[in-house]
Each structure stands twice: as structure tokens, then as C-alpha cells.
Structure 1
Amino acid sequence: MFFLFTESMLFLLLFLGLGLLAKNNSLIIAVAVVILLKLFHVDGRVMEMIQSRGINWGVTIITIAILIPIATGQIGFKDLVDSFKSAAGWIGLLAGIAVSILAKKGVGYMAVDPQVTVSLVFGTILAVVLFRGIAAGPVIAAGIAYVLMQGVALFK
């Protein structure tokens, strides 16, 4: 019973409560899975593997979801060509490129500066709870933080 009152478990239970309060199923499921892993004393190597590879797994699942309309024929080459006939299409292309670059930089930045990871995760959880955001934020936020820190470094 003592394991329920560790700092990490209380932290997770706080996030579970916030997820329930915000009615955010993604957060609820994620926290519940982590709590179950902890309760069943899942090997530390498994936790480390999930931590190190989880973002890539998530990106793969998102990519699969994005490709489904192509596979089902809902989106074809005509749609691709038509998308470049509008400003929104070009802005979408540039935004996609920018976010991808920021996410790449963000993953690297989180690896070299663990301190920022805590703030990013907490900020993402707050955004999920308070603004009904989506938890894809930490990687992009880390990329933005990386770019901003590069700017700060220029003035040192």
C-alpha cells in the first residue's frame, strides 16, 4: 500500500484527476497505463524502452492515420495538385515542414536538457486540461524552446 504514496504515484494520480476533470480520454488512458506499469512493477528496462521509443511509436501511429484517406481513395493526386492552387494549401505545406523540423529539434533538445522536459510535460498537461489541447505538444514545444534558446545564445 505504501507505493500509492510515493511522490511519483501522487504526481501520476494528480494527472489522472486532471484528466478526469477535463474529460480527456487520451490523458486518462496514458496515465492509467503508466500507473498499471508501476503497480505491476514492470521492469525498468521496459519503462526506459517506452520512454525512449514511445514518441517514435506515436508518430508512426499518427502517420498511419494520416495515410488511411490515401489508402481508401478519399484523397488522390488531384487533391494534392488542387491543394497547391490556394494560399491555404501553401501555408499548410510550409506549416507541415516547419512543425516537422521543430519536432526533430525538439526531440534532440529534450535529450540534452532534461530540465526543460519537466516544464514541457507540465505545460502540455495544463494545455490538455485547461484548453482541451492535444498531448502532441511536448515535441513541438521542445522544438520551439530549442529555437528560442538558440536565439538567446546569440545574445550571450
Structure 2
Amino acid sequence: MESWLFLAVIMLVAYFGKNMSLIIATGVVMLLKLLPVSNKIFSVLHTEGINWGVIIITISVLVPIATGQIGFSDLIAASKGPVGWIAIACGILVAVLSRNGVSLLTSSPQVTVALVLGTIIGVVFLKGVAAGPVIAAGITFCLVSLLHLSF
């Protein structure tokens, strides 16, 4: 019963915060919870969901390459300036930090509660986005702004 209440509170916060992604995600989890095989589904989602999400995000990042919107010339142009090099460094940093984050979640699953709360607060009240690769762009933006470089 406590899990239903917790999910309902998340749904309400998402609704009042007008965050459609969190509303959909919470709704899907609540619907899955109604299924007799929900424990098996949740077990698979818990262990594989992050990997699936990373795959979907990676696919969306690769689409502009597949459609020809981004090519080698864009890569070369991006690497000629400091913004491009900061972006490359931030991409590497986020990949390494993410590896350590996954390791932390595996060894200390109770941290998940704090991460969920922080993500909900950031998404709903600060209009953030719950996505990994976007973090690299956000860090890049912060560093570029800090160094007063132009885009």
C-alpha cells in the first residue's frame, strides 16, 4: 500500500508541475503494478531499464548522422574550437561518472531513493530533464559560460 501512496504522490507532483514525462512514467509503472506478473516485469525493468533507456537515447542522438544532417565536416568543425573540445571532455567525463554512478547504485541501492527525489525535484520544480547525455551538454554549457566563450 505504501508504494501506491508514494506513486500517487509522485503523480500529483508531476501533474501540478506539468511534467508529462514523469506523468507517463508513473502511470506506466502504476498500470504494470496491476498485472499479476508485475514482480517479474519490474525485476527486468530494474536490471535492464537503464540500458534500454541509454540505447533509445543513443539512437535519437545518432539519427541526425543517419539522415545526413551531421557529417564528418561537422565533427571537424566542432573540434576546431574550444567549445568542441570542452564538449568532448564533458562527454568523456559524463561517461566515466555514469559508470561510477551505476556502480554506486549496484552497491548501495538505497541511494536510489535520494536520486529519485532529486530527479523529481529537478524535473518538476526546476523544469529540468531526466536524461544522461543531456548532462554532458549542460556541463559543457556551464563551462563555456564560465569561460565566457561564444557559441
TM over 0.5: yes
Residue 148 of structure 2 is matched in structure 1 by: none
TM-score of the pair, normalised by structure 1:
0.82
Q: Per-residue CA shift, 1:94-146, capped at 9, x if unaligned?
A: 00000011111101110101121111111111111110111236xx8xxxxxx
Q: Displacement of 1:43 after TM fit?
A: 3.3
Residue 91 of structure 2 is matched in structure 1 by: 96
1:47 to 42, 46, 54: 42
Unmatched 5+ stretches in structure 1: 1-5, 141-156
Q: Which has the higher contact order (CA 8 A, sep 6+)?
A: 2
Q: Within 2, Cα distance between the matches of 1:121 and 1:26? A: 14
Residue 118 of structure 2 is matched in structure 1 by: 123
Map 1:1-156 → 2, pairs under 5 A: 6-136=1-131
Percent identity reads 51
TM-score of the pair, normalised by structure 2:
0.84
Residue 145 of structure 2 is matched in structure 1 by: none
Q: Displacement of 1:77 after TM fit?
A: 0.3
Q: Within 2, Cα distance between the matches of 1:8 and 1:69? A: 40
Q: Within 2, Cα distance between the matches of 1:103 and 1:54? A: 15
More helix by share: 1
Residue 150 of structure 1 is matched in structure 2 by: none
Q: Which moved more, 1:44-53 or 1:70-79?
A: 44-53
Q: What's the Cα RMSD here?
A: 1.2
Matched letter for residue 61 of structure 2 = I
Q: Per-residue CA shift, 1:38-77, capped at 9, x if unaligned?
A: 1223331211100110000000000000000000000000
